[in-house]
Amino acid sequence: MLEYLRPMALIRSVFQDELDGVSQSLVDLTEMVSLSIAKATEAVLTADLALAEEVIATDDQIDNYQHELDARIIDIIARQQPVASDLRALVTALRMSADLERMGDMSHHVAKIARLRHPDAAVPTELIQMFQAMGNAAEKITNKTGLVIATRNTEMALEVERDDDEMDKLHRQLISTLVDPNWKHGVEPAIDLTLLGRYYERYADHAVSVSRRVYFLVTGKYAY
């Protein structure tokens, strides 16, 4: 009996290592998209074309990393044929990686507006502080999401949703500014800024989605 159990224990240990590797790759993705949104924010606020191009190029790296991770997850499912909580963890990881990849896309879109308006600044002086706050909120929520993935802390997962309220508040303030009759920068800049605000808001929404998935993975219940 013991001779039978030893190889089974080894197989389980290898499988657990693979699961841990998937979790670490998701954390790595959060770090990549956090750095990406930080650089995109700086690029759009300072009209830094080189930095904008760097963010745009990095999006391909994020996409490739996500594709490789998804392929690895599918391979694990095919080889290990997991059931119950293990299968749920792997399927959830596929969905989380998709959300993180979309966060990279949002950073990419922010950088593209910086490139489109270069050498002019896309953000008027009076709105720099607001967009800096959006960038800071995006980094904060992503860094906490990485911790949620690494620790599976359900209380922290719920905090991420509350942190998103800060981004939503900033987004509402932006829209109020853009529709104010005293807006003096014209229609085209207003469109750019509306898009920028939407990109930051969607970025945070995807982070919330990742944290909700971790909450479901741990508890088997959906966070509301």
What SS3 state is found at 123?
coil
- Say what the pTM is: 0.92
The domains of the chain, with CATH numbers, are 17-219 (1.20.58.220)
The pLDDT value recorded for residue 16 is: 85
Total length of the chain: 224
Segment 70-85 mean pLDDT = 91
pLDDT digits (tens, 9 = 90+) for 132-178: 999 999 999 999 999 999 999 999 999 998 999 999 999 999 999 99
Quickly state the pLDDT bin for 84 (edges 50, 70, 90).
confident
User: Which single residue is written with the structure tokens 């500014």?
Assistant: 177
User: Which single residue is written with the structure tokens 């219940």?
Assistant: 221
Distance CA 193, CA 62 (A): 25
